[in-house]
Structure 1
Amino acid sequence: DEGVVRFVLEIDPARAKAMETARAEAETKIKALGATSVSIVMTAHAAAPPPPDLKGGGHGHAHGAAKATGPEKIPGVDRIIAIASGKGGVGKSTVAANLATALAAEGRRVGLLDADVYGPSQHRMLGITGRPASPDGKTILPLRNHGVTLMSLGLMTQEDEAVVWRGPMLMGALQQMLFQVQWGALDILIVDLPPGTGDVQMTLTQKAQVDGAIIVSTPQDIALLDARKGIDMFNKMNTPIIGLIENMSTHICSNCGHIEHIFGHGGVTKEAKKLGAPLLAEIPLHIDIRTTSDGGAPIVVSRSNSEQAEIFRTLARHLIATGQA
């Protein structure tokens, strides 16, 4: 946006206090050049404690773990649910957007954090444009549509701009979006995670009190293989698994009604039974789910009486009834 300046300063952690003065001075001088808004984030490559030993046993505590205060509550947020997948392309973000709008339709106060920093898409799925404001230069005002309060890195970057960040910068950005966004009073904050088991997932579970994770997978074996790794990571981070969702479960031809199992069928059901975790939903591969999300109004909002929307509404009601949302 014209007049808006944002950048990151990588600093020596030993000089953090001194550099705060430099940050404030830089902000003042940039504003003097005519900038209407200046946001400067400082990151430091401090010697980090070793991460949890994912090759170890099932407790998720590494030798020499951080002596920090541990995961914190986000002020005003009652519960946090992570939506995760082992691999990309399984429809995790579409599920997250529709679940968020379904919970909002059921009267819940819902926030959605798009933590898929390399491929943010929630702003597009919720039809949100514009840039979040920062009135005091320290906190960020999220944007809102369809009853959902959203923060996404996609709102802070250009549409075709790649995010080329290393681990410390990712972790710093995530912590900013968790704790420096004015979320307000929320019944639930849904966090749409990137695929895999990397820095973002670990930072979330180490810094914020996550009440549970929902794993999204297609029925195909290769997706299930990666989903198991995601489940194992959450177990080691002591994050409860709320349940699994089988996405793209079936495809019904819109012309003849023929049912096809393009990615196989029942794989997630079997995996859920093996893990002793609930199968929360089976969502079909349907063109309306895709087109409505691409258009900025998820099917729960734009075609609320459809069979596909009812699947998400039923899931939302279940989470509310069981105290998960």
Structure 2
Amino acid sequence: MSESTVAPPVGAPDLAEVSAVAQRVREAVGRVVSGGDDLVRTAVAVLLAEGHLLIEDVPGVGKTTLARALARAIDATTGRVQFTPDLLPSDLTGVSIYRAEKHEFEFRPGPVFANIVIGDEINRASPKTQSALLECMEEGRVTVDGTTYQLPRPFLVVATQNPVEMEGTYPLPEAQRDRFTARLTVGYPDAAAEQRMLDDRDASDPLDALSPVTDAAAVRRAATAARSVHASPAVKRYVVDLVSATRTDAALRLGASPRASLQLLRVAKAVAAVEGRDHVLPDDVQNLAVPVLAHRVVTSTDARLDGVDGEAVIRRLVAAVPVQPGTTTR
């Protein structure tokens, strides 16, 4: 049976319902975050793609606010971790405690046992603690003392990091960055948005008034339905061509992995579902190329000396790699 004839799983909502759920979340988060609709739309798409989100920007622009707003808009369990140099892996995953009265060990789950895990300043934790997230993010499970525990679904890690303040930080290794589906930057608001923020937050925080607009079960069904969105062979070939181009470009020392291809297509499907479409367009892939691919590549020494970063290389490749015929229709 071809992909285009595969029926949605039983119990999954239709794409109109997926779009409605996503729109409610976008509107709720948009009332709190002044980073623009594209930022919020991509964050919601990553949620529906069952991926993970890295928010990287300078202090004070609303990275944590975006993470908290996304978590609060969904009636789901939330874990919060403030990463510090002395944070231990067991502080994330949990620990087994011996109960003398029962003569047995009891597992106390850590904050990763939640639908949405907010990690503040992830690059302040030691590499050993950062690596504790690898199994969680990739496989949706945790192994402690030889016992494996499944994490709830949906499971989304929203981590923030400050790229400017380098003292006391540990850069995320390539393997860790590759686990994040997309990297977003909030950016500074324009003058009008910043003035509205001064008015809105003079007496209260809009985040306090944010109520859930959906629940974990609805998000889980929507994520299942988003995977049923059709991607033509030509679209898939375009994804492969774009990712493959990062592996041969002279400006890059390390290109994107096959995991990047999988996640780029998965988020493109989620964006199509958010917009109520049953098929992926090349525009979806192109619009997501920078947030999904740029943080996975490593520029060469010569490129860095010339002031070229990963985002600039990905934009150049998007402009250079041709779109395959047959990508614009189902």
Q: Shorter-chain TM-score: what band?
A: 0.3 to 0.5
Structure richer in strand, relative to its length: 1
Structure richer in helix, relative to its length: 2
Q: TM-score, normalised by structure 1?
A: 0.32
Which has the higher relative contact order, 1 or 2, with Cα contacts under 8 A spaced 6 or more apart?
A: 2
Q: TM-score, normalised by structure 2?
A: 0.32
